[in-house]
Amino acid sequence: MTGLLVCAVVIVVASVFGLLRARRDGRLRMRAKSGAVVLTAGDLGAGLGERATLVQFSTAFCQPCRATRRVLAEVVELVPGVAHVEVDAEQQLDLVRRLDILRTPTVLVLDSDGREVRRAAGQPRRADVIAALGEAI
């Protein structure tokens, strides 16, 4: 009987955790103004976009990273003056630590000056990225 109760509690806790994680996954959140991050072309190894930049932190075997790459490429085609820079998180560990990147994919939306406007951990939806770009531009 005790084993059954423990099993039920574990299932409930895991389900709640999964629902909360799914709810937050891919949502573009605002960053605190006090911790405003500014990135340069030297930090990223590529030029910033004229109006905004989408920075994607990826790893080689990350399946959601591939889907995120496609979503961001579609957005870049739709919105002029926006650049997409993909950073290999394994190769840029100093930058990953400095920016507190905890998982891949993580997408940063930067304004034209390289300031972080929004951040998403997980695969963002195209409509959310476009809305975040509206704030950055």
pLDDT tens digits, one per residue of 85-122: 999 999 999 999 999 999 999 999 999 999 999 999 99
In the predicted structure, residue 5 carries a pLDDT above the cut 60: yes
Cβ–Cβ under 8 Å, residues 54 and 108: yes
Burial 10-37, CB ≥16 within 10 A → b, else e: eeeeeeeeeeeeeeeebebeeeeeeeeb
Q: Percentage of the chain with pLDDT > 90?
A: 69
- Per-residue model confidence (pLDDT) at position 3: 84
pLDDT at 32 over 60: no
Higher pLDDT, 87 or 3: 87
Q: What percentage of the chain reaches a pLDDT higher than 70?
A: 89
CB atoms closer than 10 angstroms to residue 88: 15
Band of residue 15 on the pLDDT scale cut at 50, 70, 90: confident
